Amino acid sequence: METLIAQILNGLSLGSIYALIALGYTMVYGIIQLINFAHGEILMIGAYVGYFSVAVLGLNIYMALLLSMFVSSLVGVLIERIAYKPLRKSGRLSVLITAIGMSLLLQNGGLIVFGTDFVPFPQVIERIPYRLFGGRFVVTSHQILIFAVSILMMLLLQYIVGYTKIGMAMRAVSYDKEAASLMGINVDNVISFTFVIGSSLGAVAGVLLGLYYQTIHPLMGFMPGLKAFVAAVLGGIGVIPGAMLGGFLLGIIEALVSGYWSTTYKDPVVFVVLIVILIVKPTGLLGKNTSEKV
């Protein structure tokens, strides 16, 4: 029982990271129904900007976060404007392939620009382990930070989408782009704004990932990105609390598989869960049913 609780705690901390990344995926998917494969790479860029701000420019962590959110948003919007926007009217397949191309480009470009070494991320926030119940359970300051940030981000997103003007425009665009533009909504700007938010979230996740796992690498975004996408699908893609739920669930599943079976089966199990969910409830746990127009 004790181990079980300890493992669930382990899973929650991993899960908050997935949740944070999944929020970015879900934002973009919710508005333009695109799996932004490059999201993981935007996260990587955010992490490197964070690293350079702290290690080279000597900024404090908050300034570094802001700078990294800014640069990531810029990259995100650029990607959208250059690569995705011209394809908005072509088939899904084209956009999806472009997104994969973007992801590959940023990964390999990153390997050339940043090198192939793992870069130690400056530990600007002290890692303090808190031992609970006489050391039976351990929670670290970083875990609490990540958990808190991901919950905060979810609430913030819920607020933006649900209660602001731009959020209303976003919802309108997600229902029907043409109708929205007829209603005087600047669809391009709304989509760009979505990418700003998604990419900023990615940047936050990247910096936190660097802090938490102590290194950054040009390929660091790919696997977590993929897992986070699985998390988003699990919870119901396009649904903000779904990303959260999916992230936590995935983290816990991974921890339990690692703890009670074997780490090496963790990834296969995650993908099996994905496939099962897609078959049993394609819209995810919190997703709504939609049917295709004829």
Give yes or no for residue 178 binding another protein (CB under 8 A): no
Give yes or no for residue 11 binding another protein (CB under 8 A): yes
State the nearest-atom distance from the C-beta of 166 to another protein, in Å.
25
State the nearest-atom distance from the C-beta of 68 to another protein, in Å.
19
Binding to another protein (CB under 8 A) within 272-291 occurs at 272, 274-275, 278-279, 282, 291
Give yes or no for residue 56 binding another protein (CB under 8 A): no
| 61, 151, 187, 256: which one binds another protein (CB under 8 A) | 256
Give yes or no for residue 80 binding another protein (CB under 8 A): no
Question: Across-strand partners of 137?
Answer: 132
| 63, 78, 115, 155: which one binds another protein (CB under 8 A) | 115
Stretch that binds another protein, among 58-66, 161-169, 170-178, 267-275 (CB under 8 A): 267-275
Distance CA 55, CA 50 (A): 8
Q: Which amino acid is present at 139?
A: V
Binding to another protein (CB under 8 A) within 34-53 occurs at 34-35
Query: Position of tokens 């900024």?
Result: 59
Residue closer to another protein by CB (options 71, 95) is 95
Binding to another protein (CB under 8 A) within 219-238 occurs at 219, 223, 226, 229-230, 233
Query: Position of tokens 């819920």?
Result: 158
Q: Which amino acid is present at 201?
A: L
* SS3 assignment, position 58: coil
Instruction: Give start and end residues of each alpha helix (H) in the chain.
Output: 2-32, 39-55, 61-79, 92-114, 141-163, 165-175, 177-182, 187-213, 222-235, 240-260, 266-280
Residue closer to another protein by CB (options 171, 266) is 266
**123-130 contacts at long range (C-beta below 8 A, 24 or more positions apart):** 123/211, 123/214, 124/54, 124/60, 124/61, 124/64, 124/211, 125/61, 125/211
Residue closer to another protein by CB (options 129, 162) is 129
Give yes or no for residue 146 binding another protein (CB under 8 A): no
